[in-house]
A and B are shown apart, each in its own frame.
Chain A
Amino acid sequence: MTLEIIGISVLWMFLFGYVIVASIDFGAGFFNAYNTLTRREHILTNIIERYLSPVWEVTNVFLVFFFVGVIGFFPKTAFYYGTTLLVPASIAIVLLAIRGSYYAFAMYGSYGHKGYTFMYGISGLFIPASLSVVLTISEGGFISMVNGNPVLDYFGLFTSPLTWSIVVLSITALLYISAVFLTWYANKAGDSSATDLLRKYALIWSLPTMITAGGIIFELRSHNPEHYARILDLWWVFGLSFLLFVGTVWLIWKRKNYGLAFGLLTGQFALAFFGYGVSHYPYLLYPYLTIYDSFTNEAMAIALIVAFIAGLGLLLPSLYLLLRLFLFNKDYVRGNKDYHA
């Protein structure tokens, strides 16, 4: 295994972490807003706030970690993606900033207002949409080199069916992930009406997730045949992922073992995510940038990997402690005591 592969694997792992925790967060915001709109907020608000409050800051770190790591391991990405992503990334930053700070304002400053709840829910859908544009761009065809500098073709990007399929996938998948997780969490809290409602959402969003995921593979056939061929080579990974999907839906349908259902869902997305990542190999930006020609020098790569291992030694026990104190603590989950600052 080369240093390049280790680097990209580490980063891909963190991006996956972000996809899961951010999906739960964004989805929770959306469901909460939707229920507020339909005057059913009393069912979900408590469950969602109890889960989100201690972890909202951690969610943000996963994203920072990913992009700092990318620049660290692959400094040339700064040149290509930095120049072209100014507008979509800035929009995502602004939305993230409003969303993150509003959450703190509302939770700790008791500044709750229905309009904000609604904005909060909607912004959660725009962020993955603006971030997932990066995935579309990485497929190639939207960046051209003018005088040695990369330029993004906005018109081509916004009229491409591939762009919109990826956007739709990111939104349906996040609603699905979030609903499955929250079903499990609500069930643990012994809140049967929240569980029922979230279970319904999980089932509703499962199908569109599958359909768009399949659609994207189909669109890649004409957009980037090389990538499509590599996906077909890995058909068994995606097949396995589909089986796990069936398992999750079946468990939720039967109202059985929500914890295992969430485990299967994580496995499903991990397989699909890594399958997609591996099939993208070796390109970071098709066809300009591969992981080999953008990789940093060896001394820095080794230093980063050492720092990464040392950092994980510190982080994993801390994350475990966080989960034990909140996610897996009965008193806390059920809201028996108010531990709020």
Chain B
Amino acid sequence: MGNEEAVFFSRILTELTLSFHILYATIGVGVPLMIMIAQWVGIKKNDEHYILLARRWARGFVITVAVGVVTGTAIGLQLSLLWPNFMELAGNVIALPLFMETFAFFFEAIFLGIYLYTWDRFENQKKHLLILIPVAIGASFSAVFITIVNSFMNAPQGFDLVNGELININPLLAMFNPAMPTKVAHVVATAYMTSAFVLASIAAYRLLKGSNHIYHKKALFLTLKLGLIFSIATAIIGDFSGKYLAEYQPEKLAAAEWHFETEENASLVMYGVLDDGEVKYAIKIPYALSVLAHGNPFAEVQGLDQFPEDEVPPLYIHYLFDLMVTIGISLTGLSALYVLATWRRWSFVQTKWFRWILVAGGPLALLAIEAGWWFAEVGRQPWVLRGIMRTEDAATTSGQVDLMLALFAGLYLILGIGSIVVLRRMFKKNPVEQEIEDRRKEQDGDIT
């Protein structure tokens, strides 16, 4: 296998692993916070339903965590196995957040074990809630640290490169690079948002499938309120991200927006197709790109004409960008509508068709996560370290990458199917009505 093939297969394998991992990782970051909130609400309102909600979410969460942990281990090792030259260079500058991520992961792992096995151990549920705080913190901080590593790849700094040698290394400067604030905030906020919509999907699905229990209604309302809050946060951060891109990675923004020529009063291109370098069927919103990039409708936005041809990212990232933004905005609108309608007691939110839309919310949010990551990563091409190391110089020279790709594809297939089968079985065998009944019997038994 030539080097070109090794690079190609390494890229595919990394993409496959990450695309699979982020589904579980996103849930892994967001759901502990949701469990914590549900348990806290349950204690505050003295409402058994919310406690039960936390408990049932926690049980399902274990399955997703398990897949998240093992695929995370895979990508952690693959970084060195598939991109040895990259790790050799970048490791000198960015090892610190990578190392800290394992601490956050460690912290989460310890307390998750404790949390899962102390449900009936403490008389006081508040103590049990306390154990959940480090789980949620650990989960969020592993996302923070690993995103710092990724933002370094987009905006490398904290070192000087002199004749191929790294000198004057400053690990903290490398961590707090310009891409870091928007990237970290966006990743964490979208993880919370996605988890809220995924959990809302489940509640809406149960309501559709005959169980008209008040438990599911409470779950749906709680998760969509949280979904609304986090989707608004996501939109605000998304705006900041646009300004970051205009300032530090203009080629990514220009490629995403099909902004070919540098101009003032730039308009935003939505949708459309690219045909022989010509944009067709697109909706153009005047001045919007200048507003997104600089907060000023008349500002000049750099176009692709400013960059050498071999440094322009693939133009198909426009579709990914559109997909991500469209889903994000629709979900914000959907959750806002639901919350408002519930307050105003509008009845259409109880109808079947509206619930089906809510069911679609979770999968759509996950799709937006994928699209967003593909956009961010492909938009960085041809660089693995922007401006410093090209992707083709970073890959392994090993000849067996294609075989490993087949091996891992098989693994993810098994894990994907396995986790879905187990989760379905887990909740089908033990519906919430049954569990409430069982707990009541148990408590009565204690009294008599």
Contacts and interface: CB of A to CB of B under 8 A. Distances in A.
A83 B106 contact: no
From A64, A69, A91, A103, residue with most partner B Cβ within 10 Å:
A64
21 contacts: A53-B113, A65-B102, A71-B80, A79-B88, A80-B84, A87-B400, A90-B408, A98-B415, A101-B70, A105-B419, A108-B62, A108-B422, A297-B92, A297-B166, A299-B171, A300-B169, A304-B96, A307-B100, A322-B113, A326-B113, A341-B59
Contacts of A81: 80
B81 interface: yes
B65 A339 contact: no
A311 B103 contact: yes
A337 B123 CA distance: 14
Contacts of B81: 82, 85-86, 89-90
Interface in A279-335: 296-297, 299-300, 303-304, 307-308, 311, 314-315, 318-319, 321-322, 325-326, 332
Contact of B62 (A94, A300, A303, A341): A341
A60 B73 contact: yes
Contacts, number: 236
B407 interface: yes
From B62, B69, B101, B425, residue with most partner A Cβ within 10 Å:
B69
Contacts of A339: 117-121
B117 to A, nearest CB: 5
B105 A64 contact: yes
Contacts of A86: 81-82, 396, 398, 400-401, 404
A153 interface: no
Interface of A: 53-58, 60-61, 63-65, 67-69, 71-73, 75-87, 89-91, 93-94, 96-98, 100-105, 108-111, 149, 296-297, 299-300, 303-304, 307-308, 311, 314-315, 318-319, 321-322, 325-326, 332, 337-341
Contacts of A103: 66
Nearest to A90: B404
A57 B77 contact: no
Given A61-B102, A82-B80, A300-B169, A109 B411 contact: no
B12 to A, nearest CB: 14
B172 interface: yes
A5 B114 CA distance: 35
Contact of B172 (A89, A108, A303, A321): A303
B134 interface: yes
A73 B95 CA distance: 8
A69 B103 CA distance: 11
Contact of A105 (B85, B114, B422): B422
Give the contact-size bracket for chain B.
35 or more
B378 interface: no
A22 B109 CA distance: 15
Contacts of B65: 57, 104
| The 10 nearest A-B residue pairs measured at CB | A75-B91, A72-B95, A104-B66, A82-B84, A109-B422, A78-B87, A97-B70, A54-B113, A311-B103, A82-B80
Contacts of A104: 62-63, 65-66
A75 to B, nearest CB: 3
Contacts of A311: 100, 103, 106
B75 to A, nearest CB: 10
B56 to A, nearest CB: 9
A109 B425 contact: yes
Nearest to A94: B411
A109 B423 contact: yes
Mostly, the A contact residues are helix
Contacts of B398: 83-84, 86-87
A225 to B, nearest CB: 30
Contacts of A340: 116-117, 119
B357 to A, nearest CB: 30
Contacts of B298: none
Contact of A111 (B77, B82, B425): B425
Interface of B: 55, 58-59, 62-63, 65-67, 69-74, 76-85, 87-93, 95-96, 98-103, 105-107, 109-121, 134, 166, 169-172, 396-398, 400-401, 403-404, 407-408, 411, 414-415, 418-419, 421-423, 425-426, 429
Given A86-B396, A105-B418, A303-B172, 13 more contacts: A54-B114, A54-B117, A57-B66, A76-B88, A81-B80, A83-B396, A90-B407, A105-B419, A105-B422, A108-B426, A300-B93, A322-B110, A338-B120
B80 A67 contact: yes
Contact of B110 (A93, A108, A303, A315): A315
Contact of A97 (B73, B80, B93, B121): B73
A91 B408 CA distance: 9
Contact of A68 (B102, B117, B118): B102
A87 B88 contact: no
B113 A300 contact: no
B14 to A, nearest CB: 13
B99 A308 contact: yes
A66 B431 CA distance: 42
Contact of B91 (A58, A72, A87, A308): A72
Nearest to B396: A83
Nearest to B71: A97
Contact of A303 (B88, B96, B423): B96
A318 B74 contact: no
Contacts of A321: 110, 114
A101 B100 contact: no
A279 to B, nearest CB: 26
B70 A83 contact: no
A65 B70 contact: no
A102 B66 CA distance: 9
B118 A300 contact: no
Contacts of B397: 83, 149
Contacts of B72: 64
A301 B98 CA distance: 13
Contacts of A97: 70-71, 73-74, 411, 415
A105 B112 CA distance: 16
A304 B99 contact: yes
A58 B241 CA distance: 36
A132 to B, nearest CB: 16
B404 A72 contact: no
Given A67-B77, A83-B396, A303-B172, A75 B88 contact: yes
A149 B120 CA distance: 57
Contacts of B76: 64, 67-68
A63 B102 CA distance: 10
Contacts of B396: 82-83, 86
